[in-house]
Structure 1
Amino acid sequence: MDEKAAQAPAGAPGSVPPAIVVMGVAGCGKSAVGIALAAALGVTFIEGDRLHPPENVARMASGEPLTDQLREGWLDAIGERIAAPVGQGEGVVAACSALKRSYRARLSGFCPQIVFLYLEIDPATARRRVGNRKGHFMPASLVDSQFAILELPAADERALTLDATRPVGEVVATAVRQMRRS
């Protein structure tokens, strides 16, 4: 999806932020919600998982969680991909776990207008969803390690929390409605 943004200018009444990062643990639905949200807004979608270096993918596929250091280059790649369309006046939605406050701050360094859409889910549902996926490098055994490092968005962060167990269309409609009110 590489369409021009079809939204009001950032900051205009009823507009949505120029950059939205759909975040949360594996299995919460970041990609499904991100794709649908980008389509609803007529903006570019960035799949963060595709930007992992091969070494990171191999580590995760073997059941090894990534360290903060291993995530740095990946977060920078996502941040750069977010900043490019925003710098051209276009909107963007990205899927990225952004599990820690420091990761969200790193992404915001590339685009201060980012709003994070946190998809909240319980560990059992996340493990079940990841276990049922086909063809993805992330094993269900790593879900608990993601919950272990998860830092919920704080009140001083630009973030919206939604229930990831709701249908994708409902999550997207709620996100758009709430962001337009902000």
Structure 2
Amino acid sequence: MRQSSQNAPLFGEDDKTIPPKPDFRHPLVSFLHLFFRTSAIFVYLLYDYVSDHFIACMVTIILLLSCDFWTVKNVSGRLMVGLRWWNRVDEDGTSHWLFEARKSDSLNLTSSAESKIFWLGLIIFPILWAIFVFSIIFTLQIKWLAVGIMGLALQGANLYGYVRCKMRGKSSLDLSHVAKNYLGAQLLKQATKAT
């Protein structure tokens, strides 16, 4: 039997499947996550070839590192991996550091590709700045020491903050579970010793 062309579905109408999730939900954020830190390293490495003005290069590197710190702390951490850390000051002046992770039961708003980019960028670049600081010390280029320490401090602070967020988000439930099991085992042990 011949099928009539009027009853046949049009091209693409029979594919009512859900479109796959994109690998990069926040491509601009992913780009900026790596752009500022990579630019700071390129300016640092290519200083001799680009400019003879040390102060201009130092200010440019510190501005790029500051933009990177702000972008990673306030934008890419929240959007790419669902983590944030911040400081709250109470009315009496006491300071509280808060490390937060998005609830696991909420919608999965992060992609694995963005998460890998986030963590690789967050780990690799502080290691590079640590290598630069050691090379500055060993080559006795003391004028660059402030820049190297600033790069290590700003990127190390973000690394420390996000590692704390990740550990707090995962381990708060796990640690309480372990503590309850340990406490239960100790109570059982005490009860069996008494009898």
> Taking structure 2 as the reference length, what is the TM-score of the superposition?
0.27
Q: Which has the larger radius of gyration?
A: 2
Please identify which structure carries the higher strand content: 1
Larger relative CO (CA 8 A, sep 6+): 1 or 2?
A: 1
> Taking structure 1 as the reference length, what is the TM-score of the superposition?
0.28
